[in-house]
Structure 1
Amino acid sequence: MSGATLQVIRLSRAAAASVPAATAAMARRCILDWFGLAIAGAGEPVCRRLRALALAEGARPVATVVGGGQGPGEGPGEGASARQAVFLNAVAGHALDYDDVSLAMHVHPTTVILPPLLALAEQRALGGGAVLAAFVAGYEAAGMIGRWLGAGPYDRGFHMTGTLGALGAAAAAAHLLGLDEEATARAYGLAASQAAGLKAQFGTMAKPIHAGRAAEAGLCAALWAEAGISSRTDILEAPQGYAATQSAIPAGPITWDGHELDRNSFKYHASCFGTHGAIEAIAALRAQGVVPGDVRQVRLTVDAGADRMCNIATPRTGTEAKFSLRFVAALALLGADTGMPGLFTDAVTARPDLIALRDRVTVAFGPPDWPPDLTVAEVTLADGSRREACCDTSLIGADDDRLRAKFLHLADTLPAGHAGRLADQVAGIEAVTDVRALCRLATRVGEG
């Protein structure tokens, strides 16, 4: 074995072997944020329908379905097979499109990396410290591959949460299972052969299913590799392998310049991350005194890649509205709380006042050297004057108070006391010996 695949395995293992305190703190933020999102996301229609199918399929319950007990015919704290739980939990974590982002890999990382680790830890009685270390290994592996490949796969139309996410999930699960280098390389190969996801599905229920399948693929790949299933061990660099089919095999080697996890980005608005710059920039204009009634026109200038990601001009549903720069700009002009997932409904999308504001917004694309995370919002007022504000979303950091408030709001459907206890458990996850008990705090066990 040699080449890019082996480099990623060795570097990601080294990164997980010695985790700095700041990196561990970031991992705990990711885990808490994901639990809140999965709890709230479990009530979304896509999750209810998929959960009903899983329950009808039947299985020996060995892992927790987060947010379980929210649908007809479900018992509180419903369990499932490891595969079912991983799939359903990953879908739930991404269903609100409110989960964290890695700009390096163009992936929503936690919702694909964490669910396989929780299910394996429940099934094999592994502790929270092992889960955290494996999470770091999976995150760093995906981060290295993402930086190596660049934006090419995403620009071609691959939803990298579904494609690269499968490799990150496999790397994390292989680390938790203690697989050696050769078996881990086979896990990468098996995950790559299952990787799928197309950006054409943005704005539909298929998008969160990409995350579910990626997490499930990572789990299966690691378990299959552990069972001795064969695969190429050079899948990243192989002719007709992962890099060659996704984009083009990069000329340079795999590199690692510090924990990618330290640069993780969190969402504070319940819409596509590509729309967040517009929301923040317009919020800055409102702080300058701009009010909707005085606005004649809004011009948003963004990276050209947004056209294939979040530029649905006339959204018809709440899901489509999350991928509409023009519509979120209208919401922001009105001062709507875009951090509330329940805001994005079909009824709100059809409101005449919002449609009228939406139609005053135009989207322009910057030149080829335009920073990919920069949004400039320019408003023309009724008196002909203009105001401008900008936002670089890559500079928005982690805010513990804001993240905890987000978690507590998302987890407010849990029985009394569960959300606080779950937050406390995650804050000390390295000392948690019973991951199953932790996961059951994220269900409605104790009700009904």
Structure 2
Amino acid sequence: MSYATLPEETRYWARAGILDTIGVTVAGSREAAPRLAAEALDLHDGPALILGRRRRVDLLEAAVVNGTASHVLDFDDSSNTMGGHPSAILTGALLPLADMLGSPGSDVVAAYVAGFEVQSKIGLGVNFHHYSKGWHPTSTLGAFGAAAAASRLMGLDEAETAVALAIAASFASGLKANFGTMTKPLHVGHCVRNGLYAARLAAKGFTANAGSVFEHGQGFLDVFNGKSNYDMAPTLSTWARPYDLTSPGIAVKQYPCCGSTHPAIDATLAIFRAHRPDPARIARIDAAIHARRLTHVNRPHPQSPLDAKFSVQYVISRAIADGRVAVGDFHDGALEDDRIRALLPKVHMSAYNETGVGDFSADNHFGGHVTITMEDGSKLSARVEQPEGRTTANPMPQSRLRAKFALCVEGLLQDDRIGPIADMVEHLEALPDMGELTETIRNATLSD
């Protein structure tokens, strides 16, 4: 695989994923989680830029801090196949590594695609059991994606790359029990750092059981999924036919919260736009999303702004009260809004499942419907098959991708540099050295 052999559609989505991730990383850079992660590392000066800051630090340190910042708002893209957040992992690994190596943009795009294919196609073999069991695939599978992308950008050969992936298997970790806390975005920083470290160890001649780390009776598949709970045949039979980045592709988020809540948000906003219901006159709100999604977002009493990102009740209430769900809805004080406190107990959640209950097809895990019952007994309803932007078949337009990027970096980067930076990413293959991009971002960063 090389940049020259990639379909242009695949290249486009790689650039889109990188642009989106840079935006959400800059937006998340001033949050507490990446700040505390940086303080705990005792940062050292080095070649790799911390996005949203003006400092360059050690490669692995930048990976932890940027990775954590990229996921702290839960505004980064998702992958249906992986069951997680692909671009936070890949961009988090490739930008600091490219800074160190002076890599051209075309090589970064190719490495991004390689890493995406690895983590998503492993996901095809282990999900949904892996996801439902409680692993956080962003981190457990992302370790392989980061190692593969780094190996590709570093020019490792086949044997070295196999060792890097084997090392990554021992680094893989991340539990969904920590959702709603700072540890969830730290999963990303942790696995990005580990994937890079695995590739660098392999390049030095480090050893690992590259021959059977997946298939071994005490290897990744049996330990993480359990015997008979995976099928790796589709992983290889569909390899690059098509690239998973091309189809089904990435899900670019419209809202800075868990993607499992987005179908309910879309349906609620459809009702808001059509009817503008008076929140004070709402008697009851009934909503349904897939059972697999509801498991970790059924939080009727969120206890913190981070916890609220995983509360479908909270985001439905926000959508009704404000007609939008925005970054500021997850900052300190937002949970104290009296309008939201009044709506939360009125939201009643249910689930549909693989039997197609709820008038959704059995294989649609991303549908949602909402019914608002007013005090006079009238009912307002809406449903969505899947959120806009969830796949490349239902894409977010390029203009909205750029608008989201501008929204994320507003107030953090100089206004007159936002457009040129987006232009650089959209023409990444023209950059002879990725350091030009990161230095442009650094110079545009407003003082922290």
TM-score (norm 1): 0.91
- Number of residues of Structure 1 aligned to a counterpart in Structure 2: 424
> Secondary structure, in 3 states, of the residue corresponding to 1:261?
coil
Q: Does 1:323 align with 2:301?
A: no
One-letter code aligned to 1:64: L
Structure 2: gaps (5+ residues): 357-363
Aligned-pair CA distance for 1:418: 2.5
**Matched residue, 1:365:** 351
Aligned-pair CA distance for 1:166: 0.7
Q: Does 1:47 align with 2:34?
A: yes
Distance 1:58 1:383 in 2: 60
Go from structure 1 to structure 2 and tell me whether the alpha carbon gap of 1:446 and 1:328 turns closer, same or farther (over 3 Å shift). closer
**Matched residue, 1:408:** 406
> Secondary structure, in 3 states, of the residue corresponding to 1:443?
helix
**Matched residue, 2:151:** 174
Cα deviation, 1:30-70, whole Å, max 9, x if unaligned, reads 1111111111110001112222333xx242412111111xx
> Secondary structure, in 3 states, of the residue corresponding to 1:388?
strand
Go from structure 1 to structure 2 and tell me whether the alpha carbon gap of 1:444 and 1:40 turns closer, same or farther (over 3 Å shift). farther
> Secondary structure, in 3 states, of the residue corresponding to 1:299?
strand
**Matched residue, 1:3:** none
**Matched residue, 1:65:** 50
Q: Does 1:380 align with 2:373?
A: yes
Distance 1:251 1:126 in 2: 33
**Matched residue, 2:178:** 201
Distance 1:444 1:91 in 2: 22
Structure 1: gaps (5+ residues): 1-12, 69-76
Go from structure 1 to structure 2 and tell me whether the alpha carbon gap of 1:236 and 1:369 turns closer, same or farther (over 3 Å shift). farther
Q: Does 1:150 align with 2:143?
A: no
Q: Is the 8 A contact 1:166 1:215 kept in 2?
A: yes
Distance 1:143 1:261 in 2: 9
Go from structure 1 to structure 2 and tell me whether the alpha carbon gap of 1:28 and 1:285 turns closer, same or farther (over 3 Å shift). same
Q: Is the 8 A contact 1:316 1:350 kept in 2?
A: no
Go from structure 1 to structure 2 and tell me whether the alpha carbon gap of 1:444 and 1:43 turns closer, same or farther (over 3 Å shift). farther
**Matched residue, 1:5:** none
> Secondary structure, in 3 states, of the residue corresponding to 1:441?
helix
**Matched residue, 2:360:** none
Q: Is the 8 A contact 1:316 1:346 kept in 2?
A: no
Cα deviation, 1:356-382, whole Å, max 9, x if unaligned, reads 111110011114434311111122222
Distance 1:101 1:281 in 2: 20
Aligned-pair CA distance for 1:253: 4.6
Within the candidate set 188, 191, 214, 1:236 is matched to 214
Distance 1:202 1:63 in 2: 28
Go from structure 1 to structure 2 and tell me whether the alpha carbon gap of 1:444 and 1:310 turns closer, same or farther (over 3 Å shift). farther
Q: Is the 8 A contact 1:39 1:442 kept in 2?
A: no
Between stretches 241-250 and 349-358, larger displacement belongs to 241-250
> Secondary structure, in 3 states, of the residue corresponding to 1:172?
helix
**Matched residue, 1:350:** 336
**Matched residue, 1:83:** 60
Q: Is the 8 A contact 1:189 1:232 kept in 2?
A: yes
Cα deviation, 1:256-277, whole Å, max 9, x if unaligned, reads 2302112211000111101111
Between stretches 23-32 and 397-406, larger displacement belongs to 397-406
Q: Is the 8 A contact 1:64 1:436 kept in 2?
A: no
Cα RMSD (Å) of the superposition? 1.8
Distance 1:364 1:42 in 2: 36
Distance 1:153 1:35 in 2: 28
Q: Does 1:335 align with 2:322?
A: yes
Distance 1:386 1:302 in 2: 19
Distance 1:173 1:58 in 2: 22
Distance 1:58 1:379 in 2: 51
**Matched residue, 2:423:** 424
Cα deviation, 1:326-350, whole Å, max 9, x if unaligned, reads 1101011123431x31221231112
Aligned-pair CA distance for 1:232: 1.3
Go from structure 1 to structure 2 and tell me whether the alpha carbon gap of 1:326 and 1:415 turns closer, same or farther (over 3 Å shift). same
